[in-house]
Copies of this chain bind each other. A is one copy, B any other.
């Protein structure tokens, strides 16, 4: 995405442009609420940035808003929180429309047990157990604010995760752990011990990328 944005911006501004993003999402993840930042001295109106970029970008990328920010704004370091959504297709048959947009689990899920397990995550704690092997974060303490399960339509289960910041693959491992509970490979009561162990091998599988949506990035009100 970054490369496409920089190419489009360079055309629009008629000068080289560097873009900084809020979140490096894995391939297949849907970055609906991605935030990106660039600096320019060209006098160009904000609606011109949005419309101009949309006419230059490929169909898979759309700019839905353009805003001016203080010079010290950084899309990642200024962020105070993020909201991710994960969609499960929980029914026996797959759906062509959701093939690249949800994780298909054909076996019935114990949603009650998943809700019980979900309640174990919120709070400020060490989430090393939910950290991918390649994660380079220096600290593993994060604050998960909320993990909420709902069913927006029959056969679809939505898991909404809000927190201040996330380790690499943290949401996908959290979801994989919930699914392992829902399918009986783990018990809800084990989740607190798994988190306390700080041991990635004790948590559940990593849910695949196509079900994950970065919904929004939160900033302080004055940004």
The interface of chain A, by Cβ under 8 A from chain B, is: 30, 32, 50-51, 54, 59-64, 92-97, 99, 101
Residues of chain B lying within 8 A (CB to CB) of residue A32: 97
Please measure, in the bound complex, the distance between the C-alpha atom of A96 and the C-alpha atom of B94, giving whole angstroms. Answer: 22
A93 touches B50 (CB 8 A): yes
Chain B min CB distance to A211 (Å): 13
Interface of A is mostly: loop
Residues of chain B lying within 8 A (CB to CB) of residue A99: 59-60
Please measure, in the bound complex, the distance between the C-alpha atom of A221 and the C-alpha atom of B54, giving whole angstroms. Answer: 49
B64 touches A30 (CB 8 A): no
The listed residue (B30, B54, B93, B101) touching A94 by CB distance below 8 A is B54
Please measure, in the bound complex, the distance between the C-alpha atom of A60 and the C-alpha atom of B98, giving whole angstroms. Answer: 10
Residues of chain B lying within 8 A (CB to CB) of residue A62: 93-96
